[in-house]
Amino acid sequence: MSSLDDALKPQLYERRAQQHYRRRRILESPQGTHVRIDGRSCLSFCSNDYLGMANHPEVVAALRDGATKYGVGSGASHLVCGHSDAHHDLEEALASLTGRPRALLFSSGYMANMGVIAALTNRHDTIFEDRLNHASLLDGALLSRARLQRYAHGSVAQLDAQLSQSTSQRKLVVSDGVFSMDGDLAPLTVLAQTAQQHDAWLMVDDAHGMAVLGPSGAGVCEQLALSLDEVPILVGTLGKGFGTFGAFVAGSETLIEALIQQAHTYIYTTALPPAVAHATRVSLRCLQEEPWRRSHLRELIDLFRSGAAALGLALADSMTPIQPLIVGDSGHALALSEQLLARGILIAAIRPPTVPVGSARLRITLSAEHSEADVTRLLEVLGDVMDEMHGDADSAAAMAGGS
Ligand SMILES: *Cc1c(COP(=O)(O)O)cnc(C)c1O
């Protein structure tokens, strides 16, 4: 056996022993609320396709039309010759949606976050991040070589103290808008005030709020009425609420020009396929024309929360389609996920290191494509599975210790 395999195997065994080993299930249908996975049909509550746009007939048709018009690959980076009118039109539509002067497309949210943070800061600067921020925001800070200070989840008081002590020239505060594994909102209004008081810049990653929150789907900034001055750097992704792929940064003319010159993950990578940009533009339009998607989703969230409360489940403080049930122990979370699957319900167990140790969970997500009957079915099965678990003393203790 090679020394490479010799070195890797013990880590894999350790992961398995900790119940943190990951395996991929194979999806054999389009993404949606009813999927075929590993050879079986099930009702799914775990995609980020919150508005049901990933397989929307008009979006699918737009991708097809886009391929006919533009071909498949963009063939180059944006700065060489890969920036098409489809990309440009989408950037203008995203700027208009978010009420920002300009928007810049990136090939993924991971790349947008790494690129922006590393372009705006260097080793003389300090970055302040919420402890529960997405991995891409932490990796961006590492890449920038700036000093990284993390504050307790949502703790503006701790951030304020850290900012007061900082002597760095540039100070960048970075937060998820909606926290991806918990579904709660960052306290952005106070974060923005605090950042302004300390002459720090605020960057908000609204991967899970974009398309979902706010009267017109412009995300958490629209919901909380936060202006360009308050949130000068706004990141949104296209692979979640919009159902396609890619990401964007919205901000001032100067910010966008600086990123075009300096963000490596923008400059040194192939532009998104133009047909995907075209399909995203159509997804945006459909979402404006089908406001029922957001209102129906809100109704489902209320239905789920009242039903779960009636079952005595410990709900998280979330008004978004992300409704985690925190179990605690990774083995228990996995076992629950398996029991749900045996009854035809797909919900992934999210374990460390994606979430803090001891906070493994079922990350339930709702979609506008779910019916009320789907949510009722979910509650029924959750009730049954929890009852069975309460027969098991260990498991019952683990559940009570959750959240
Ligand atoms: C999913 C996610 C990303 C990454 O976006 P991709 O487009 O999937 O690369 C970034 N930030 C947060 C908070 C996310 O949840």
Sign, CA torsion 30/318/393/333 = positive
Domain span at 303: 20-50+291-397
Residue nearest to atom 1 of ligand 1 (CA): 207
Q: What digits encode the pLDDT tens for the residues 78-117?
A: 999 999 999 999 999 999 999 999 999 999 999 999 999 9
Q: What digits encode the pLDDT tens for the residues 142-177?
A: 999 999 999 999 999 999 999 999 999 999 999 999
Task: Tell whether 146 and 226 lie within a shared domain.
Answer: yes
Ligand 1 centroid to Cα of residue 110, in Å, is: 6
Ligand 1 centroid to Cα of residue 199, in Å, is: 27
pLDDT at res. 179 = 98
Is 2 among the domain residues?
A: no
Statement: the pTM of the whole predicted model exceeds 0.85? yes
pLDDT at res. 399 = 52
Task: Tell whether 340 and 392 lie within a shared domain.
Answer: yes
pLDDT at res. 393 = 44
pLDDT at res. 395 = 47
Q: What digits encode the pLDDT tens for the residues 288-316?
A: 999 999 999 999 999 999 999 999 999 99
For β-strands 171-176 and 126-130, DSSP reports them as parallel
Task: Tell whether 254 and 389 lie within a shared domain.
Answer: no
Is 9 among the domain residues?
A: no
Ligand 1 centroid to Cα of residue 152, in Å, is: 21
Task: Tell whether 83 and 193 lie within a shared domain.
Answer: yes
Is 7 among the domain residues?
A: no
Residue 2 tokens, joined: 């090679």
Residue 350 tokens, joined: 């999210």
Domain boundary among 229, 259, 289: 289
Task: Tell whether 70 and 190 lie within a shared domain.
Answer: yes
Q: What share of the chain is helix, strand, coil (3-state, %, to 5)?
A: 45, 15, 40
pLDDT at res. 110 = 98
Task: Tell whether 283 and 297 lie within a shared domain.
Answer: no
Residue nearest to atom 14 of ligand 1 (CA): 207
Q: Provide residues with CB under 6 Å of ligand 1.
A: 108-110, 113, 134, 136, 176, 180, 205, 207-208, 237, 239, 247
Average pLDDT, the chain: 95
Task: Tell whether 304 and 282 lie within a shared domain.
Answer: no
Cis peptide upstream of residue 10 (ω within 30 degrees of 0): no
Residue nearest to atom 5 of ligand 1 (CA): 109
Q: Measured at the alpha carbon of residue 317, what is the angle toward residues 311 and 318, in degrees to the nearest 5?
A: 95
- Rg over alpha carbons for the chain, rounded to the nearest Å, is 22
pLDDT for residue 403 is more than 70: no
pLDDT at res. 402 = 41
For tokens 């339009």, what's the residue?
285
Domain with 92 in it: what CATH number?
3.40.640.10
pLDDT at res. 401 = 45
Element (H, E) at 227: none
Ligand 1 centroid to Cα of residue 45, in Å, is: 18
Task: Tell whether 273 and 141 lie within a shared domain.
Answer: yes
Task: Tell whether 312 and 266 lie within a shared domain.
Answer: no
pLDDT at res. 392 = 60
Listed in sequence order, the DSSP H helices in 172-230 are 188-197, 220-223
Q: What digits encode the pLDDT tens for the residues 339-394?
A: 999 999 999 999 999 999 999 999 999 999 999 999 999 999 999 998 887 766 45
pLDDT for residue 118 is more than 80: yes
Atom of ligand 1 nearest to the CA of 179: 13
Residue 307: count other Cβ atoms within 10 Å of its Cβ.
Answer: 17
Domain boundary among 265, 289, 313: 289
Pocket test for ligand 1, best of 48, 237, 238, 265 (most atoms within 8 A of CB): 237
Is 10 among the domain residues?
A: no
Mean pLDDT of 220-230: 98
Pocket test for ligand 1, best of 49, 94, 110, 272 (most atoms within 8 A of CB): 110
pLDDT at res. 386 = 83
The phi, psi pair for 55, rounded to 5°, reads -125, 30
Residue 60 tokens, joined: 């699918």
Residue 97 tokens, joined: 């949606």
Q: What digits encode the pLDDT tens for the residues 37-50?
A: 999 999 999 999 99
Q: How many domains does the chain have?
A: 2
Ligand 1 centroid to Cα of residue 135, in Å, is: 9
Is 140 among the domain residues?
A: yes
Is 12 among the domain residues?
A: no
Task: Tell whether 284 and 295 lie within a shared domain.
Answer: no
Q: Measured at the alpha carbon of residue 135, what is the angle toward residues 134 and 138, in degrees to the nearest 5?
A: 100
Domain boundary among 252, 272, 289: 289
Is 125 among the domain residues?
A: yes
Is 156 among the domain residues?
A: yes
Domain with 365 in it: what CATH number?
3.90.1150.10
Task: Tell whether 128 and 247 lie within a shared domain.
Answer: yes
What proportion of the chain, given as a percentage, has pLDDT over 90? 93
Ligand 1 centroid to Cα of residue 149, in Å, is: 21
**239 pLDDT tier (thresholds 50, 70, 90):** very high
| CA 282 to centroid of chain Cα atoms | 21
Task: Tell whether 111 and 240 lie within a shared domain.
Answer: yes
List, in sequence order, every beta strand (DSSP E) within 259-375: 322-328, 345-346, 349-350, 360-365
Instruction: Tell me how many helices (H) and strands (E) the chain has.
Output: 15, 13
pLDDT at res. 396 = 46
Residue 178 tokens, joined: 């909606």
Ligand 1 centroid to Cα of residue 13, in Å, is: 29
